């Protein structure tokens, strides 16, 4: 009963954080996220999944505030906790890995970001729908990273891999297939390969 009450209170904290973020009040969201994290530590201990989740929320709010150093530290600690609790292939890792990968991408840390998107692919491949479909998203991100790093051949191969993945796993009229064709078309357009770009735009 006590644990259920604690879980209910954490849900209230979560909703309050979301409401404050939606209202653009990131500073108060930080206060609530910090309070939630401290409450979870006291209630469940440092090495518990609920504590890891509240720490991820705090990292997210730091991220929104532009305090990227604090966000990175909290995301990394969250990932360490979740791996020790749930293992290295758990879907519980996905939100934290996505957030940290996006933070690195935003700050131009392309190597670190690409490594995390690769790790995410390794996770979602081990899970059923809808998680496995996220591979297309991560492949697209990795292709974009390779473009920014000037690795054009690698980017091209990844874009084609993404198209092949979507064609293999989704119906021919699925919007994700259109997006995959549009992405590779944009890539060829930027590379000055206009005939190939036109080919994929038509398929999109």
Please tell me the distance from the alpha carbon of residue 194 to that of residue 196, in angstroms, as a whole number.
5
Whole-angstrom distance between the N-terminal and C-terminal Cα of the chain? 54
Lowest mean pLDDT, pick from 3-17, 45-59, 82-96:
3-17
Q: To 10 degrees, the CA torsion angle through 149, 152, 158, 160?
A: 160
- Higher-confidence position of 8 and 85: 85
What's the pLDDT at 3?
58
HSE, CB side, 13 Å, CA atoms: give it for residue 51.
16
Mean pLDDT along residues 40-50: 95
pLDDT at 21: 98
Radius of gyration (Cα) for the chain, nearest Å? 20
Q: Residue 119: which pLDDT band, with cuts at 50, 70 and 90?
A: very high
**pLDDT value of residue 161:** 97
Q: Report pLDDT digits (tens) over 52-84.
A: 999 999 999 999 999 999 999 999 999 999 999
Amino acid 1: pLDDT? 44
Say whether pTM exceeds 0.85: yes
Q: What are the Cα distances from residue 168, in Å, to 57, 125, 161, 171?
A: 35, 14, 10, 8
pLDDT interval class at 117 (50, 70, 90): very high
> Are the C-beta atoms of residues 159 and 131 closer than 8 Å to each other?
no
pLDDT confidence of residue 171:
86
Any alpha helices (H) in the chain, and if so which ranges? 2-22, 26-44, 49-65, 68-86, 94-106, 110-124, 135-148, 152-169, 175-190, 194-203
Q: Is the pLDDT of residue 139 over 80?
A: yes
Over range 120-131, report the average pLDDT. Answer: 92
pLDDT for res 136: 95
Name the percent of the chain lying above pLDDT 90.
90
Residue-wise DSSP of 63-114: HHHT-HHHHHHHHHHHHHHHHHHH-TT-GGGHHHHHHHHHHHHHTT-HHHHH
At residue 41, φ and ψ (nearest 5 deg) are: -60, -45
């Amino acid at each position: 009963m006590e644990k259920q009450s604690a879980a209910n209170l954490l849900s209230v904290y979560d909703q309050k954080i979301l409401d404050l973020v939606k209202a653009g009040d990131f500073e108060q969201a930080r206060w609530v996220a910090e309070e939630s994290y401290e409450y979870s530590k006291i209630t469940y201990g440092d090495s518990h999944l609920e504590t890891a989740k509240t720490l991820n929320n705090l990292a997210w709010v730091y991220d929104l505030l532009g305090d990227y150093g604090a966000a990175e530290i909290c995301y990394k600690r969250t990932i360490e906790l979740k791996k020790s609790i749930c293992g290295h292939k758990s879907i519980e890792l996905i939100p934290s890995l996505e957030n940290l990968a996006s933070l690195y991408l935003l700050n131009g840390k392309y190597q670190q970001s690409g490594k995390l998107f690769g790790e995410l692919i390794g996770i979602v491949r081990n899970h059923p729908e809808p998680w496995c479909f996220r591979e297309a998203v991560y492949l697209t991100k990795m292709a974009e990273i390779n473009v920014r790093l000037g690795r054009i051949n690698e980017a091209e191969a990844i874009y084609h891999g993404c198209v092949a993945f979507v064609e293999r796993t989704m119906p021919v009229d699925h919007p994700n297939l259109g997006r995959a064709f549009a992405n590779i078309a944009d890539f060829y357009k930027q590379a000055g390969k206009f005939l190939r770009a036109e080919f994929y735009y038509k398929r999109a």
